[in-house]
Structure 1
């Protein structure tokens, strides 16, 4: 097979909403790198065939992984960094021609970036969801040393398994339970995303200085963030984590540092898209 333009991509089901191509191609253009970034619809049943086909393509540099594949892709990858044990989910797969598929997770680092930037020093958090994204975010919160972590999940057993895997002595509450008065509320679930059920919560238990962080970015102004702003709480939107994790993946795929000094311009493009 002849060598063409190098490319990476994002896979998921659904995938039409993904803004990752806009981000990566913005950076590629800014740095004058001859490569591209795409999005490809891959169903759970098609995951094995996808990797088999891509491994034979010398132009393919790897892929980012979104809902619902972050756990399933671990069956197809090498794991030199111990991501399976430490996090239990992968969102970035890198490939060198003729070499193995190497999996890692940039969600945790991308999630932490705005909290570290803002010097967040909270002592308690509620994490909504118990899927692949939640695994990375719980790992990130534990790495900050947050002593009081509560998982809000539909399935209590799944929520407890999430805590046990991370070695976190937290607790689980149901989706209909009242929020505890925590310093940080994080939505790692797809609730509130376009095409998904809304996330309706009573935020009144949260203290005045609390932060509400929603990793959903389609729409950018979710119902959760709108309610939080209505209470005067600090908010972090889904573009914060999306851009942060993308920058880490960009370095992996294209061996270049994303020009983060142009974040304001990039955010404007993403909000207009």
Structure 2
């Protein structure tokens, strides 16, 4: 794939479902840039050889990284950005002029982007209920801890949830729970939430096309919560639809996807992507 035309790409296994090429190529077209963004199926066995080959390709600007490589790729990189180092996961690799491969994590910034206005306000208390303990959850947990939020981390394995919090030095004052706990109704009476910010985040693939639904009973969700589902296929998940029917504000997975892509795009191509329309046209393409 060596050539004179600069390119970046997304790698993973599987990779056919990735919306990243549509996002980046849309922005490149809008800017009139002579560059491209591809997708490349890379298995775990092929990862080291893939990176060694691309490091020698002067046209290759870098890649975005999807499952299952976000943590496995780290030993193959020259160095990590401090954010990626803290999170312990990489979703963006940039090739420097000398062939060095630098790992970044843009998931954290992309996740927080649609919450910035709310988080800029002053709150008496902030709590996030996070469903899932995978690679995406690591970036989200790290970003919310920086926002001074108390976390409830729920997964199929309570031990894995507890270990993740411990990785971030956040064992005290935070909580873990089995994901199944939230599927059963509760008669818990929430106290006055005025002045509080409550966030509920689904980081699991549950609710994705071809996956079982996310089973959450809304009696566990405080009034006034923001419901955030990072699933992108479909962007309108059953969880978000049910939340809106109950009057909750919602954020869909395309918000995080586009937000993290914007940070990566600037690292690859050296210019901010065109987002003057609030991503309206791009969202129509992706939907």
Q: Which TM-score band (shorter chain)?
A: over 0.9
Partners of 2:242 and 2:201 in 1: how far apart? 14
Partners of 1:90 and 1:80 in 2: how far apart? 8
Match of 1:269?
285
Q: 1:137 to 1:75 in 2, by over 3 A?
A: same
Q: Secondary structure at the match of 2:73?
A: helix
Q: Greater CA radius of gyration, 1 or 2?
A: 2
Q: TM-score normalized by structure 1?
A: 0.93
Residue 251 of structure 1 is aligned with which of 266, 275, 278?
266
Match of 1:76?
76
Partners of 2:48 and 2:57 in 1: how far apart? 15
Q: 1:230 to 1:6 in 2, by over 3 A?
A: same
1:80 offset after TM fit, Å? 4.4
Match of 1:156?
158
1:130 offset after TM fit, Å? 1.1
Question: Contact (CA 8 Å) 2:96, 2:102: kept in 1 or not?
Answer: no
1:6-45 alignment, distance < 5 Å: 6-45=6-45
Residue by residue over 1:18-60, the C-alpha shift from the partner in whole angstroms, topping out at 9 and shown as x without a partner, is 1111111111111111101111112222211221222222211
1:97 offset after TM fit, Å? 4.4
Q: How many residues align?
A: 270
1:1-273 alignment, distance < 5 Å: 3-83=3-83, 85-119=85-119, 123-146=126-149, 148-168=150-170, 169=172, 170-178=174-182, 183-262=198-277, 263-271=279-287
Question: Contact (CA 8 Å) 1:83, 1:89: kept in 2 or not?
Answer: no
**Structure 1 unmatched ranges of 5 or more:** none
Partners of 2:35 and 2:13 in 1: how far apart? 24
Match of 2:194?
none
Q: Secondary structure at the match of 1:37?
A: strand
Q: 1:85 to 1:20 in 2, by over 3 A?
A: closer
Q: TM-score normalized by structure 2?
A: 0.88
Q: 1:2 to 1:26 in 2, by over 3 A?
A: closer
Question: Contact (CA 8 Å) 1:19, 1:270: kept in 2 or not?
Answer: yes
